[in-house]
């Protein structure tokens, strides 16, 4: 049996209106994707601004914590000095009441 003439894999020829509808649908899809991308970029910018604000708040909180820790250290140092001064005054008053001279007391304190 002889073969039929022509290819079985012929390309179908699309009409202009079919191509125009495909172009229109692709343009609509492109516009939707661009709108979605713009919304995502706007959200990212908003989140970046929020992150910057939170970082500033964090730095301010860290600075205030450091300042409070320094104040605490100073208060502890003052309290320690006052307690040491009170102990020295007690020791001096005991030595004075026991009859020691000022020179003997100074000599004992320097040791």
Query: Which structural domain, as residue segments, surrounds residue 79?
Result: 16-110
* 63 in any annotated domain: yes
pLDDT at 103: 80
Q: Is residue 99 part of a domain?
A: yes
pTM beyond 0.85: the answer is no
| Rounded CA separation 106/98 (Å) | 15
Domain count, the chain: 1
Q: What is the largest CA-CA distance in the chain?
A: 144
Residue 54 tokens read as 């939170």
Task: With respect to residue 61, please indicate whether it lies within any of the assigned structural domains.
Answer: yes
Is the pLDDT at 96 greater than 90? The verdict is no
Q: In which band, very low, low, confident or very high, does the pLDDT at 13 lie, cut at 50, 70 and 90?
A: confident
40, part of any domain: yes
């Amino acid at each position: 049996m002889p073969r039929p003439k022509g290819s079985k894999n012929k390309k179908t020829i699309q009409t202009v209106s079919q191509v125009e509808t495909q172009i229109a649908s692709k343009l609509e899809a492109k516009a939707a994707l661009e709108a979605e991308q713009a919304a995502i970029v706007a959200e990212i910018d908003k989140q970046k601004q929020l992150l910057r604000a939170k970082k500033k708040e964090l730095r301010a909180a860290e600075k205030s914590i450091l300042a409070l820790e320094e104040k605490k250290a100073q208060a502890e140092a003052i309290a320690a000095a006052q307690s040491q001064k009170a102990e020295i005054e007690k020791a001096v008053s005991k030595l004075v009441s026991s009859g020691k001279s000022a020179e003997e007391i100074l000599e004992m304190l320097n040791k």
